Structure 1
Amino acid sequence: MSNRIQATFDQLKQQNRKALIPFVTAGDPSPELTVALLHTLVAAGADVLELGVPFSDPMADGPTIQRASERALKLGVSLRSVLGLVAEFRKQDATTPVVLMGYGNPIEAMGWELFAQRCS
């Protein structure tokens, strides 16, 4: 929800702090470790989490994210499973903003309306 992001940045502004926004590719090194990694990042001070959705043709990404996407895809990670990982994360953390980074193609394949429903 955008209000999580706004609330976080409002709080950071009041504290005169900059945001720590780490990026990880969902499913790398494994889907099983992704949720634990997100919680660890928050415990280490992350204010917002950027979670990469693996894509088969990540041409706009650099080589590090491309390789992470390839590894995650080989493990079967998809947009649907990424949304499931976020839902699992939300069971223990309802406040830390999670921003998905990816390409429109998987959303188009899922359908924009279904994607919006799954994200809510």
Structure 2
Amino acid sequence: MTVINNRGVSAIESAFERGKILIPYLVAGFPDEKSSLECMKAAFNAGADMLEIGVPFSDPIADGAVIQHAQDRALRNGMTLRKTLRLAADLAAD
């Protein structure tokens, strides 16, 4: 699993140098906080090289309907930037 930290950029560059990579996108807190973390772990266990974690916000007009729905549900479940960062930290610690 690649985690962005002080060496994050070089880790990303190294991944791309190996060829094609898989970077799934998941909205933090969808369908709920606990399941979200489980989905993130499952993505890495299934072979993801990196993970793009979407931070839910109230006006995602540039996103499609599916992502808008996921962000809306995450927000209704109380997901915040602080909780998203905690999810990322929990993922990195695993």
Same fold (TM over 0.5): yes
Runs of 4+ in 1 over 4 A off after TM superposition: none
1:71 paired to 2:73: yes
TM-score by length of 2: 0.85
- 5+ residue gaps, structure 2, are none
2:15, 2:48 → 1: CA distance? Answer: 13
> Which residue among 8, 14, 31 is the counterpart of 1:10?
14
TM-score by length of 1: 0.68
> Which residue among 85, 90, 93 is the counterpart of 2:92?
90
- Give percent identity, aligned residues only: 40
CA-CA distance at 1:87 after TM superposition: 1.4
CA-CA distance at 1:8 after TM superposition: 3.9
Q: Over residues 19-73 of structure 1, what are the superposed CA-to-partner deviations in whole Å (9 max), with x where a residue is unaligned?
A: 1000000011110111111111111110110000000111111111111000101
CA-CA distance at 1:5 after TM superposition: 4.1
